[in-house]
Amino acid sequence: MRQEDLDRTDPEGAVAKAAARVSNWGRWGVDDVLGTMNFLDDAKRREAAMLVRRGRSYSLSQSFDMDGPQKGWRRRTNPVHTMLDTGTDAVAGTQGFPHGIGGADDVIAMPLQCSTQWDGLGHIFDHGRAWNGRPAELVVTSLGDGVTGIETVADVVCGRGVLLDVGRALGQEGELPDGFAITEEHLEHTIAAQGPTSTVGRGDIVVVRTGRLSRARREGWGEYAGGAAPGLSFATVDWLHRTEIAAIATDTWGFEVRPNEFNDAFQPLHQVAIPHLGLFIGEMWDPDALAGACAADRTYDFFLTAAPLKITGAVGAPVNPVAVR
């Protein structure tokens, strides 16, 4: 699909046509809960382990604190970190422990998608259908996602990571402007510009850097959470299907370009990618330090471990992705 072929007046029709072309429903059986993570098998992990050349590691996570980007959209707030026991309590002798021992404890309250995170397969539905065609009301209830909860991939998400630094390949000063729709042609241009280590294929975890997070660091959060941003075009849905990647993540709040490419729409690429492709989407990742290292030695693949927190029934979860080169 080409971006110029999109009918901007008909997002529902575009979603339906794309879903019919790329649906993976039934591909791994009627009981499947892993979606595209099925592409990331033991052989792929063994191959990925060979990519550790220097042993240098990079966290691809933003911070989890009150200085984060959230503004309360749909009750998404920044984390609230509270100390339950402190050094002050220990010195004051109020903790009740014997022989001089003291300690500190803390608690955190936060939406699971307030910072660096994975969207699980129960996060988005299309006309009441969840991943693999299941009725949404039978998958996610007030008790959580009882079928495809994020815990189902807790031991799966590690393998070959590939950085596609589209911001550096196409943008000014390494950053794409808000509203920039990354097309298949842009992705392939970036791969060609970066060289053979950025070739994308089955089972890979792709990290797309747009530079949006870099700008937020420089200028302040502003509309980072929910506002205009560069991101993937709806037209990349066929590329996402054809490459058979296991997952994809970006440095933006919403993964796809915002405003969306239709006159009246909300996250239409999510509507196909998650319930129909079974694709895991990462958002608000921080690839900046890794991108600098990759650009310095022209090597863009690495071993990546990015397991979500094993929160039973969650439809998304925080993650601290670590790339090892």
**pLDDT in the model for residue 269:** 98
- Give per-residue pLDDT as tens, 74-131: 999 999 999 999 999 999 999 999 999 999 999 999 999 999 999 999 999 999 999 9
Could you identify the residue written with the tokens 């009750």?
Answer: 75
**Which two structure tokens, joined as six digits, stand for 292?**
């600098």
Which of these, 81, 44, 69, 290, lies nearest to 156 by C-alpha position?
44
Which pTM does this prediction carry?
Answer: 0.96
Residue ranges of domains in the chain, CATH in brackets? 3-73+112-324 (3.50.30.50), 79-109 (no CATH)
Core vs surface per residue 218-254: b (16+ CB within 10 A) or e? eeebeebbbbbbbbbbbbbbebbbebebbbbbbbbbb
C-alpha 66: how far from its chain's center? Answer: 21
**pLDDT in the model for residue 187:** 98
CA distance 121 to 46: 26
- Mean pLDDT per 10-residue interval, the chain, length 325 residues: 86 97 98 98 98 97 97 94 97 96 97 98 98 98 98 98 98 96 98 98 98 98 98 98 98 98 96 98 98 98 98 98 98
CA distance 93 to 99: 11
**pLDDT in the model for residue 4:** 80
Query: Are 135 and 129 spatial neighbours (Cβ–Cβ below 8 Å)?
Result: yes
- Host H or E run for residue 324: strand 322-324
**pLDDT in the model for residue 281:** 98
**Which two structure tokens, joined as six digits, stand for 299?**
């090597």
Both ends of the chain: CA-CA distance in Å? 34
CA distance 136 to 251: 29
CA distance 286 to 277: 25
